[in-house]
Amino acid sequence: MCNMDYIPRYTRLRDGLEIPTVGLGTFQLIDMDTTKSVIKDAIRIGYRHIDTAAVYGNEEMIGEALQEIFSDESFGVNRGDIWITSKLSPGSQGYESTIYAVQISLAKLKLEYIDMYLIHWPGTSGLDPQDPQNKVNRIESWRALEYLKDKNMIREIGVSNYQISHLIEMEEYAKYLPSVNQCEFHPLLFTKDLVEFNQSLGIAFEAYSSFGEGNLVNGNYNFPVLEEIASKYCASIAQILLCWGMQHGAIILPKTSNTNRLVQNFESQKITLSEDDMDAINNISLTRTKRFIWDSNIIL
């Protein structure tokens, strides 16, 4: 099963645009030289999708890297070839604050438009999770994103960390439903109901923390079934986890600053797991579950 050819995968969004299924996550890239080096390496490897956020503090660094890439013919890409996603800080919820935040992101990224902009979190910084103002603010933020989409400043709009309850309420107030919902997703947090609910609304599911914040690949959590499947496909456990996510219909956003792992993550697209192997990985969550990042179930 080794040495398989592959074509990079794309996921069609509700508006008909296609987003590269394998993106580069950039959380914790906070050094200018490292960030620029990782972005450039990723583009040379074949990545065409970069995911950032206002709270990551690296939009300006990514913008610098992109300008250097677009002006260097050796990369062979232009602006239209690269998909850029950024996200609204939980501290910027509200109509006017959202418009201002997007303008700041555009300036830092040095772009005329952003391919996709997400509400990063259904709550607002400083508010109690059960404060009804959380809902008021995210409705206003969404209306601002709809306005910016209509103005062609953003091509696609979406959400992150939204639970089923948050999506149900969007059906009541949204002019446009989200193109994506980006959430933590891995075999220890196999949120099948959430994935299927998104898909039932035509919302693409994006997975972050595919490695459980590294715990599923660094030895902190050992599952012999993952080792056995990885050996069967001549792959790393990381590649198997990414492939598992993609076969559940997810867009994946692995992050690393290591060039060899950048290649491995991108080449996870070579693998297609059997139904039995998918079931075996799914069943990990029957005996153990773990959420490593934010739990938005607490947000009213």
Fill in the DSSP letter of residue 203. Answer: P
Tokens standing for residue 142: 């969404």
Distance (Å) of CA 13 to CA 142, 158, 161, 206, 288: 18, 11, 18, 11, 33
Amino acid at 220: N
Q: For 199, list phi and psi in degrees, rounded to 5.
A: -65, -35
166 is in an annotated binding site: no
* Among 47, 56, 162, 208, the one annotated catalytic: 56
In the chain, the amino acid numbered 231 is S
Task: Give the dihedral of Cα atoms 242, 246, 250, 256; nearest 10 deg.
Answer: 30
Q: Which residues on neighbouring strands pair with residue 85, listed in sequence order?
A: 51, 116
Give the separation between CA 158 and CA 179, rounded to whole angstroms: 5
Residue 35: count other Cβ atoms within 10 Å of its Cβ: 21
Q: Among all chains, which residue has been given the structure tokens 């992050």?
A: 255
Apex CA 46: angle with CA 272 and CA 231, to 5°? 35
**176 is an active site residue:** no
Residues belonging to the binding site are 120
Residues involved in catalysis: 56
Residues belonging to the binding site for substrate are 120
